[in-house]
Amino acid sequence: MQRSFLLGLMLTGALVTSPALAEGWSRSWMAAPLVSKAPPEKRPDLQDRTVRQVVRISSGGQRVRLRLSNEMSVQPLLLGAVHVALADENGAIVAGSDHVVTFNGAQGATVPARAPLLSDPIAMPVKPLTRLTISLHLPQGAPEATVHSYSAATGWTAPGDQTGATSLTDATVIGPRIILSGVEVENRRVGTTIVTLGDSITDGVRATPDSNRRWPDLLAERLQKAGRTSVGVANAGISANRLLSEGDGHNALARFDADVLAVPGVTHVVVLEGVNDIGSAFAQQRPIPTRDDLIGAYRQMIARAHDRGVKVILATILPYKGADYWSEQGEAVRVAVNDWIRQNGEADGFVDLAKAIADPADPARMARPYDVGDALHPNDEGFRIMADAVDLKLLR
């Protein structure tokens, strides 16, 4: 009897003290995993090469960990040495900041086919909006490397294992993100993450390279300036993505669990999707999705997110008159869907990005000062207007 009492007391004590020791991870940076669509002859040579990439995280922490992805490959991936360091404004490694990254206590690892891999925690305090340089050595290459096609950032490959080098020798510039899909931060008090789910407009296509001017980047800056220092923004945009049909990457409903609900620390998702469903259907002479088709997709997201305690903020579909795939039929659907987004009581709020960026004289068209030139994608100033249109009270 006494032994049972003492055992129960010990278990109770363990339960009481364990939250203080619990890891509080949240995602601070993200690139949604994709299959490379480039033909083999146009993919970067990764055989016995170092891949170096620079990212700017959103929220900070006392420790960091990396999420590497082999999720789009049917072959195991051999990782050699992996390093992470602080980067300056030009992407160069800050002297004395380099850290060796381990996996299950060892350097290097084999990532199974179709799987991600989390690194061990790295004792590397980082402030919000810090730039990191992440270097991966691939001893056997990666012919089916999981990528993120668009990066708006310069990356490099170099021969051999140069993961610990301050500067690379004989480096070659690359465009896509390769294998790296997330950076997560840990604090004693759990941080939170806002996921932005969208297409090329969220992915930041046409933003000035290496400037971190995508609208989710600018939203992260606004949160920091507002004192929301423990709140991160994870960009789950994919260029050419769609809500219901297959563009680039799985459709938004197919990837919703992996790219939104499984993100550590996620509390909110801001959804800006639908223009590619409408426009591509017209361009390909397929039936254009109806208002109810697209609303049904939003409702699926709302239901699935609410089951997990995640709030859904819907963004109105941006105007795109003048783009190659614009049509009067498609415009009628966009207007009807946006009317529903503004009036529905099912989501947890909305952001009227369409109104923020529209030409007042012709609301079907993006205002010229915000148009990069194709009537579809905003420029840097347009991205700023979009980020400024988000009411931060929605993200509490």
Q: Which residues make Cβ contacts (< 8 Å) with residue 55, sequence separation at least 6?
A: 29, 131, 132, 134, 153, 180, 183
Q: How far is CA 12 from the centre of its chain?
A: 40
**DSSP conformation class of 368:** G
> What's the one-letter identity of residue 77?
L
**DSSP conformation class of 369:** G
Angle at CA of residue 283, ends 278 and 323, nearest 5°: 75
* Predicted pLDDT at 23: 66
CA 188 → CA 24, 63, 224, 318, distances in Å?
6, 10, 19, 39
Whole-model pTM? 0.93
* Predicted pLDDT at 396: 93
Structure tokens at 1: 């009897």
Q: How far apart (Å, rounded) are the C-alpha atoms in residues 198 and 213?
A: 16
- Tell me which residue has tokens 């959804």: 271
- Tell me which residue has tokens 């940076």: 29
Q: Which residues make Cβ contacts (< 8 Å) with residue 261, sequence separation at least 6?
A: 304, 305, 308, 310
Residue 332 has φ and ψ, to the nearest 5°, of -65, -40
Q: Which residues make Cβ contacts (< 8 Å) with residue 85, sequence separation at least 6?
A: 93, 94, 97, 98, 99, 132, 133, 135
> What's the one-letter identity of residue 384?
R
DSSP class per residue in 15-59: HHHHHHH---EEEEEE---B---S-GGGSPP-TTEEEEEEEE-SS
Closest C-alpha among 393, 388, 395 to residue 357 = 388
| Per-residue confidence in pLDDT tens, the chain, 396 aa | 344 434 343 333 333 333 333 469 999 999 999 999 888 888 899 999 999 999 999 999 999 999 999 999 999 999 999 999 999 887 789 999 999 999 999 999 999 999 999 999 999 999 999 999 999 999 999 999 999 999 999 999 999 999 999 999 999 999 999 999 999 999 988 899 999 999 999 999 999 999 999 999 999 999 999 999 999 999 999 999 999 999 999 999 999 999 999 999 999 999 999 999 999 999 999 999 999 999 999 999 999 999 999 999 999 999 999 999 999 999 999 999 999 999 999 999 999 999 999 999 999 999 999 999 999 999 999 999 999 999 999 999
Range 329-347 burial, b when 16+ CB lie within 10 A, else e = ebbebbbebbebbeeeeeb
Q: How far apart (Å, rounded) are the C-alpha atoms in residues 126 and 109?
A: 25
Closest C-alpha among 384, 54, 90, 87 to residue 216 = 384
Mean pLDDT computed over every residue of the chain: 93
**DSSP conformation class of 92:** P
Angle at CA of residue 39, ends 37 and 43, nearest 5°: 90
Give yes or no for a contact between 246 and 265, defined as CB atoms under 8 angstroms apart: no
Q: How far apart (Å, rounded) are the C-alpha atoms in residues 378 and 13?
A: 55
Closest C-alpha among 280, 312, 290 to residue 299 = 312
Kindly give the interhelix angle for 291-307 and 328-343, rounded to the nearest 10 degrees.
40
* Predicted pLDDT at 2: 41
Closest C-alpha among 233, 311, 201 to residue 267 = 311
Q: Sign of the C-alpha dihedral, residues 253, 319, 282, 247?
A: negative
